[in-house]
Structure 1
Amino acid sequence: MASLLSEAPTRAGEEIQYLDAAAIVPSPLQPRKVFDPAALERLVESINENGLLQPVVVRRVGEKYELIVGERRWRAAQQLGLDKLPAIVR
């Protein structure tokens, strides 16, 4: 899986880090307020079968990391009980 993640597009100088899932929190600025349960379940199944192929994007806020991009992936990973998530910290 790490070899697949290394191909994910990043800005110059950015690296993918594996963060504790418990350290990632949703953003209060998330424009999407409703998440389709069926679509989320399909994403859960996909991640379960293939792994999390694209990192979430976060920013550091105190001791935690706030989601910028990837809340559906984060929610699916939570449902699967993943301990670590690939992330780009901006």
Structure 2
Amino acid sequence: MSGRRRGLGNLGVDVLLSAASKPSSGNDAASGELRHLPVDNIRRGKYQPRTHIKPEALQELADSIRVQGLVQPVVVRPVGNGYELIAGERRWRAAQMAGLDTIP
């Protein structure tokens, strides 16, 4: 067996934990804070891999959101005066169909 190490190498768990415990810059994205954003301030992500979403499935999700609310928040990044979707386009579209003004 070769003496070659894999994985973290010389980095120890203490290095990883110390990096995770550094205070954030106060910016919401860096702190991982959950916020409710206006649906109209969010735009479709340009890297969205889906080119087609079945209307029936979207309507079913919108109906579920009306009853249960949005269970899983979307992930966005700030762009200009609004936000760009990184993950959650189906949820965002269904939330619009469900008539939500804001989305987590």
Query: Which bin holds the TM-score, normalised by the shorter protein?
Result: 0.7 to 0.9
Identity, in percent, stands at 53
Aligned-residue CA RMSD (Å) = 1.2
Instruction: Report the Cα offset of residue 81 of structure 1.
Output: 1.8
Give, as a single letter, the amino acid of the residue that structure 1 aligns with 2:42.
I
Instruction: Report the Cα offset of residue 65 of structure 1.
Output: 0.3
Query: Counterpart in 1 of 2:87?
Result: 69
Give, as a single letter, the amino acid of the residue that structure 1 aligns with 2:65.
I
Tell me how many residue pairs correspond in the alignment. 75
Aligned equivalents of 1:21 and 1:59: distance in 2?
A: 14
Give, as a single letter, the amino acid of the residue that structure 2 aligns with 1:50.
Q
Could you list the runs of 4 or more consecutive aligned residues of structure 1 that deviate by over 6 angstroms after TM superposition?
none
Aligned equivalents of 1:54 and 1:64: distance in 2?
A: 20
Q: TM-score, normalised by structure 1?
A: 0.78
Gaps of 5+ in 1: 1-11
Equivalent in 33, 36, 44 of residue 15 of structure 1: 33
- Richer in strand (by share): 1
Equivalent in 55, 58, 64 of residue 37 of structure 1: 55
Which of the pair has more CA radius of gyration?
Answer: 2
